[in-house]
Structure 1
């Protein structure tokens, strides 16, 4: 798995403007975009998904170029093979669990091939949702709604899964438990992922590498793929000297501790 992103985007609002300059490349299958709110992490996800068009740059997943401003390439959203789990889950309130999960593979008039119906049932079973298949979102708990959103994202067999702070709406005990459950499920499915978070513990538990974001700019990738105890060896050119615990180094890279 190779993820390569090099994009520029400027947003002009009535009160302030924001410039994003995201540049990183990695061969790891689990990547975290880490940093404070408003630093450009979610904008990067939206650009990968095709929901935001960069002003310049390139986005490549493996050998597929999704965007290249110089070559005039901008692959449509429906052809990118990207699964997206939004922060608020964005479930359709009038559709059942099964209908929500199947949304990405239904035909123009709502029909599904038998193979896709089987795929939906398999994913619902995997995520422990089979008995809730005919329930509506309002009848579900927060953790169950999260699983429905994940099911909808993985049913079409995406090439990469994008998770935008998927655990932030859950209370702490449930968040910790579901984080481990979801991590195990996604590993079983074998889907590469890019996760956005500003929780350093979540970053360390979920990813092999982290891309620190600060004020719209990415820093040098932090690699803690061998951090079995949560304390990786610092790189030869450490961008965050003096902070060698994985969570500490992430915070040091993204927050100005001198201003605290």
Structure 2
């Protein structure tokens, strides 16, 4: 009777042991070996990379250009001279006095959209003791944004007045601008009291001083504008307006 009661209990224990082994998945009694599983990381279908573009600096077209009011020497010895670009004036129009009619005219006489006037003031002085040739205003050019501009050919230059005497062209807006030496009012470059000398004579009192007028784009800024003056075939001065 006692033996029969023990047998069912042993069977129950055996079932528990078998069930425990089945849970381990290992019936050899050895440590379980981990299964090899390959895990693939998820890769985005497309990736956007944000970058910051660094603008390339535009090189100076004339890196050695002189500053406004800075002297440039040309010629040596008896014809040693100097030049300077010392002022500029910009406006959409200007008024000039016709000496024969004694009447102010406005330039341009018709609207000129997209353009304006640039006045460049230049002085040249002969520091030697021999007269020297100086470049005409038509040879003095302005550079802006890769383009070159020459003297406005429509500007009325000094001519004989009604009494047969040459007089400077009076421009109303700048009529009281003085020459660099401060001794006289400015006039067209290349003229002295309305006459056109052939040479630059020695001495400060004989300095050639005046303005040259250009028609330029309305977008022009002094910071991007250069004035170039060729002198004796060897020396060339370039000034940056600002």
Comparing both structures, which one devotes a greater share of its residues to helix? 1
What TM bracket, shorter-length normalisation? Answer: under 0.3
Larger Rg: 2
RCO (CA 8 Å, sep 6+): is it higher in 1 or 2? 1
